[in-house]
A and B are shown apart, each in its own frame.
Chain A
Amino acid sequence: MLSMQKVSFRYGKNTDYVLSGVDADFVPGKFYTVFGPSGSGKTTCLSLLGGLDTPTAGEVLLDGISLRQIGGEELRRKHVSYIFQNYMLFPYMSAVQNVVTAIEISGKGGREAKQEAEKVLLSLGIEEKDMYRKVRKLSGGQQQRVAIARSVATGSRYILADEPTGNLDKKNAQMIIDIFLRLVREQEKCLVVVTHSQQVRDASDIRYELTDGQLSLWGEAAEYAEF
């Protein structure tokens, strides 16, 4: 479980807190969305969960161990992976090479890495003819699927996605959502998605709203929590 315990964060000593005493748990097998107005700190929240930022106060824990102890690099290499709105792929590589690179960084190199990359890409609807094309020549939807494949192939339990459908049309967005659901349901991944999209939000299991530095459950889950 990935937990935020009384997490506060601000960018500088003389700046306001972006997050203030946030508590949240993210468990495998669940699809989480975090939404809120622009500048509310959604991406910051994701960065803290992925060890790209360190809390000013409080702790982020992975299975009860502080991320300070685990270390950001180790965390991202083995436990957490990112999906970005603008895909963040190596543009000069093919889809397979992009996925293989991530697998290699996670410490699983060799011939198996390529087979694994092909398998994952195929499962996410990337056809064989597209696998070895430079990713910049692929459509937005395809690129995002490659980015998802990259995060899945490393074997991370926690997938953090920042506006993954932001650049996609409704049809492609739905395709991504379906993939996310499959990952959560079939592979027991924990998916935390920061989004403005109603479509994504509606598909998620648990929704958090971030306002005024506070993360709060929203919708049915909130009602259930209150109950």
Chain B
Amino acid sequence: MLKRVFLNVIQKPFQTCVLFFMVFLIGIIGCSGVTLYFAADSTRQETLRQLGAQLMLSGHTEAPTIEWTVGESLGSGISEDTVINIDDLPSKTYPVTEEMIQQIEALPHVQGCEMYLSTVVQPYNCQNVKKYSGYNPEEQNQTATFSEEEITQEKGALTLVGSTRIDLLDEFRRGQNVLTEGSLPSADNPGVLISEELAAQNGLSVGDSIEIAITQPRAQALHTQSKRQSLPVVGIYHTSLYFEVLETNSCGEAIFAASPYNAVFADYGSAFTTIGYTEETYTPSSTTVYVNSPTQLDSVAEQIKAIPIDWEHYTLFNMTQGIYEDSGAQLESISTTALRIVLFSLIAGGILLVLAVSIWNKSNTYETGLLIALGESKPRILLSQLLKVALIVLCAFAAACICSYFLTTFLAQNLEPEFISQSAETSVGAFEDGKMAIAQHLYIQPRPQAFLWMAGLGLLLILLAVSIPATIVMRLRPRSILDKAE
């Protein structure tokens, strides 16, 4: 039977070519649409993952108020001693409390609340990594308004990042930084997490300690005392970020502190102590709320607003909305267009396919009659007709799948530049004087599952298109079929 089917297909070149071309055309539109849709959708998902979805709960800080006694004058009679420096007056800060965090973290779609501290620190028993691409910072002019002391101190600096949830930080959430050894620092596991490059350069491993202190100028700016801290290395991470120094770098060599290789992640408490804060001098007044999807931001925000907090003194910011709208708009448009193409090709293609196969199949009346006269069973006749169509359709569909890959790659290349320029504007983690690239492009990858799904649907349509007319023909009396065939 297979031989007969094959002969039938190759010996009817016109009908075979027409059916092949139709299926090929429908297939290429459908497969391209599906590929483009999934490419846009996966890129959208990746972008959303990279952007994250964050709200920020922030307590207000009220400026100090000076109460004047009625009758006092600010006239020339006021002596030097009576001049009050406003910075020395205590400002009123509304803190984010542990209770608030617990209530927020209990809400659905909330991944966690994170509190963050960051500063430049000077290492004492290690040296920072001077790995870069682009312009050599050592040869660049330092034009930023640093004092000589600042420049000297920050030339070999590291950036200390203290967080209550290191796993939620952008670099870790996006997978750009991956823990390779040890564990993440936390309140229960105090210490620091350093890059592989920093560890290798200084011969550090998990269990060793690094000695750091906040630089003097920064201590002064934060009204703290610079005090050396010896913090245990509890983990080492691999970073896929690279450090590119731009021509516009105005910090000179001090820019190395901003390098991803020189980021030292610590638990919040260790960073708090290193900076020199105390509970009396520093009140954490904000927390970042990580939500599992940007689409859930509004609902989570509403739920947070429903928590009994004194909202006169607290504000909830949406940190993602703008970025999401900018970056997601084009992707949404691509995926919507692709989805429309898929739906159109499925509906129009399905109708055309059924018609084409029906007409193609009707031309087989002669053969059906002949086979009946030769004693072939009806199920086998139906099967042979199905095989004939399936042979053509599968070949055409396979060709369409391959061609659609090239077509969508071409389409994606033409869509990408605009998309990348948008994502670059919104990319998180760009430095003023150096930049860390976030790789983003429309990643075209054939989806076998989607193609199989389409092929399955196509075969179902073909099954119907072959079976219905074939069944009608075979329900006729054999003699009538032969009469028609003659």
Which A residues lie at the B interface, using CB under 8 A? Answer: 44, 47, 50, 52-53, 72-78, 81-82, 84, 86, 88-90, 92-93, 97, 101-102, 104-106, 134, 150, 154
Contact = CB atoms under 8 A, between A and B. Distances in A.
Contacts of B376: 73, 77, 105
Contacts of B4: 90, 93, 101
A47 B479 contact: yes
A102 to B, nearest CB: 5
B479 A93 contact: no
Contacts of A78: 375
Contact of B486 (A73, A75, A86, A134): A86
B223 to A, nearest CB: 95
18 contacts: A52-B372, A52-B477, A52-B479, A73-B376, A74-B375, A76-B373, A76-B374, A77-B376, A82-B374, A84-B482, A88-B486, A90-B7, A92-B11, A93-B4, A101-B4, A104-B1, A105-B374, A150-B374
Given A47-B479, A52-B478, A88-B485, A77 B11 contact: no
Given A53-B477, A53-B478, A72-B478, A92 B375 contact: no
Contacts of A104: 1
Interface in B360-375: 367, 369-375
B367 A90 contact: yes
A53 to B, nearest CB: 5
Nearest to B481: A52
B482 A76 contact: no
B377 interface: yes
Interface residues of B, number: 24
Nearest to A86: B486
Q: Which 5 A-B pairs have the closest CB atoms?
A: A92-B11, A77-B375, A76-B375, A52-B478, A52-B479
Contacts of B375: 73-78, 105-106
B318 interface: no
Interface string B456-486: 0000000000000000000001110010011
A88 B7 contact: no
A209 to B, nearest CB: 22
B370 A88 contact: yes
Contact of B11 (A52, A93, A106, A150): A93
B216 interface: no
Given A92-B7, A154-B374, 12 more contacts: A52-B479, A75-B375, A76-B372, A76-B374, A84-B373, A84-B486, A88-B369, A88-B370, A92-B8, A93-B11, A97-B3, A105-B375
Nearest to B13: A92
Interface centre among A84, A86, A88, A150 (most CB of B within 10 A): A88
Interface in B331-386: 367, 369-378
B12 A88 contact: no
Given A88-B370, A90-B370, A52 B482 contact: yes
Interface centre among B371, B373, B482 (most CB of A within 10 A): B373
Contact of B479 (A53, A81, A84): A53
Nearest to A43: B479
Contacts of B370: 88-90
Contacts of A77: 374-376
A92 B363 CA distance: 14
Interface of B: 1, 3-4, 7-8, 11-12, 367, 369-378, 477-479, 482, 485-486
Contacts of A44: 479
B2 to A, nearest CB: 11
Nearest to A76: B375
B473 to A, nearest CB: 14
A104 B4 CA distance: 11
B392 to A, nearest CB: 15
A44 B480 CA distance: 11
B479 A105 contact: no
A3 B372 CA distance: 22
Contacts of A50: 373
Contacts of B371: 105
A20 B371 CA distance: 29
A42 B11 CA distance: 35
A90 B4 CA distance: 10
Contacts of B367: 90
Interface centre among B4, B377, B477, B486 (most CB of A within 10 A): B4
Interface centre among A82, A92, A102, A134 (most CB of B within 10 A): A92
A73 B376 CA distance: 6
A101 B374 contact: yes
A92 B485 contact: no
A72 B374 CA distance: 10
B310 to A, nearest CB: 87
Contacts of A74: 375
B75 to A, nearest CB: 116
Nearest to A103: B374
Interface centre among A73, A106, A134 (most CB of B within 10 A): A73
Contacts of A88: 369-370, 373, 482, 485-486
B373 A97 contact: no
Nearest to B4: A101
B377 A52 contact: no
A67 B3 CA distance: 31
Nearest to A80: B375
A102 B369 CA distance: 13
Contacts of B477: 52-53
A93 B4 CA distance: 9
A84 B479 CA distance: 12
Given A92-B7, A92-B11, A92-B12, A52 B486 contact: no
A53 B483 CA distance: 12
Nearest to A93: B7
Interface centre among A44, A77, A78, A101 (most CB of B within 10 A): A101
A75 B377 CA distance: 11
Nearest to B485: A88
